[in-house]
């Protein structure tokens, strides 16, 4: 049974309720009843089950799965696209993704679930999640990891997001493998299959190279992106694609001088760690937008760039103001209980959903307040 009539109110009410109650585990109770439908298999693609109830217009590719909740972020906002420097929703209004990034899928698979994502949606105000699949680190997709298991985790994450009406980024998380051209063939193969599997899903975004580094130039990233973007476009012509930028996705001011061959519906990644990246990187964001480049913060935290160390609240507040002023989408690193400052969950926390205040780190509390607009 689907509570189509009042579920939009339910979603918003849940966010407000949890804002006032400081999200003391209320996420699960508010909407769990709506999720009784069985998991649909990969082949039961949403395109086959257009949902007449969603009543969305102006976003041709919206096709909610029959088992998805309505009144959710995706049901309300539909397929996203890029216009000028803005991300816009299916009705043409500016839209801000507010999301949480997983840690490495291979390392913390326990948080890739509908219960975890529902807690983020209803308790934290998140409308999106990012699935970080390392390529070069231990257990990564290109470094001995179990590719089938990793793709199954991605599928689990995409299905969970779809049922909850949340947006989801599939992130090819290069890091130690600093130049994406090292593995263009594998990336093309991966994105060909992902974009075919999730063709026409209004909620799926593709991030094609997390953080180029080690001296990789924008010209080299462009060379890679100009090969990968057409592969995705063949299956998912309208999907929003996120492209990394040089120096661990800090040099977002560079694409303007040397545009991609097919820049439609592409966002450029700027990643920051507030204790390391300050005015210099904030200036890059401002300059990039002034030059017409649409920016997304597809990863950030408020500690230093190691993912650890102290929190810089002053710099974090400056970033918060800048994101708000410019309506920039953001994703907080990381959903895990690893003993590091950027982890959102306390090291001792064993719960995989329905977190309470005492389960969160200082970063977790700050990020939740940010998302709840406090
Ligand atoms: C870090 C994790 C850490 C892990 C390491 C692997 O927090 O637990 O051991 O990766 O090398 C990034 C990367 C992101 C990093 C993060 C913190 O995208 O993968 O995660 N960071 O160093 N860019 C800037 C910082």
pLDDT in tens, 162-189: 999 999 999 999 999 999 999 999 999 9
Q: Could you give the CA distance from residue 69 to residue 37 in angstroms, rounded to a whole number?
A: 10
Q: Which fold has domain 5-45+79-371?
A: TIM Barrel (3.20.20)
Phi, psi of 109 (to 5 degrees): -70, -15
User: What are the domain boundaries of the chain?
Assistant: 5-45+79-371
Output the six-digit token pair for 350: 């064993």
pLDDT at 37: 30
Which residue out of 211, 220, 234, 317 is catalytically annotated?
211
Q: Could you give the CA distance from residue 180 to residue 173 in angstroms, rounded to a whole number?
A: 10
81-83 and 86-88 as β-strands: parallel, antiparallel, unpaired?
A: antiparallel
Q: Find the 125 Cα to ligand 1 centroid distance in Å.
A: 24
pTM value is 0.85
Judge whether 23 and 123 are in contact, CB under 8 Å.
Answer: yes
pLDDT at 70: 79
Spell out, as residue ranges, where the chain has pLDDT lower than 50: 1-66
Q: Could you give the CA distance from residue 214 to residue 26 in angstroms, rounded to a whole number?
A: 44
Q: Which of 172, 249, 304, 333 to mutate to test the pocket of ligand 1 (most atoms within 8 A of CB)?
A: 333
What does the DSSP 8-state code read for residue 33?
G
pLDDT at 67: 59
Which residue out of 137, 299, 317, 362 is catalytically annotated?
299
């Amino acid at each position: 049974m689907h509570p189509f009539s009042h579920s939009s109110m339910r979603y918003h009410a849940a966010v407000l309720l949890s804002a006032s109650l400081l999200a003391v585990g209320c996420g699960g109770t508010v909407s769990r009843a709506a999720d009784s439908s069985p998991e649909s298999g990969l082949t039961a693609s949403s395109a086959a089950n257009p949902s007449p109830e969603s009543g969305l217009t102006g976003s041709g590719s919206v096709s909610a799965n029959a088992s998805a909740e309505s009144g959710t972020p995706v049901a309300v906002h539909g397929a996203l696209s890029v216009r000028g420097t803005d991300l816009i929703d299916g009705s043409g209004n500016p839209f801000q993704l507010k999301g949480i990034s997983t840690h490495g899928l291979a390392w913390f698979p326990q948080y890739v679930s509908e219960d975890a994502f529902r807690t983020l949606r209803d308790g934290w105000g998140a409308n999106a999640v990012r699935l970080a699949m390392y390529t070069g680190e231990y257990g990564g997709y290109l470094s001995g990891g179990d590719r089938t298991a990793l793709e199954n985790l991605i599928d689990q994450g995409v299905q969970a997001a779809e049922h909850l009406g949340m947006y989801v980024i599939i992130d090819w998380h290069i890091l130690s493998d600093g130049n994406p051209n090292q593995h263009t063939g594998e990336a093309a193969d991966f994105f060909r299959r992902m974009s075919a599997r999730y063709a026409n899903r209004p909620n799926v975004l593709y991030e094609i190279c997390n953080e180029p580094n080690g001296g990789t130039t924008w010209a080299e990233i462009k060379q890679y992106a100009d090969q990968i973007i057409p592969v995705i476009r063949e299956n998912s012509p309208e999907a929003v694609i996120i492209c990394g930028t040089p120096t661990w996705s800090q040099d977002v001011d560079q694409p303007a001088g040397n545009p991609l061959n097919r820049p439609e519906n592409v966002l450029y990644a700027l990643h920051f760690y507030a204790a390391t990246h300050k005015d210099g990187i904030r200036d890059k964001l401002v300059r990039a937008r002034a030059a017409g480049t649409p920016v997304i913060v597809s990863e950030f935290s408020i500690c230093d760039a190691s993912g650890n160390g102290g929190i810089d609240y002053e710099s974090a507040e400056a970033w918060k103001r800048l994101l708000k002023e410019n309506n920039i989408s953001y994703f907080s690193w990381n959903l895990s209980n690893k003993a590091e400052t950027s982890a959102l969950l306390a090291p001792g926390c064993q719960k995989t959903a329905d977190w309470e205040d005492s389960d969160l780190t200082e970063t977790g509390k700050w990020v939740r307040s940010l998302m709840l607009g406090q």
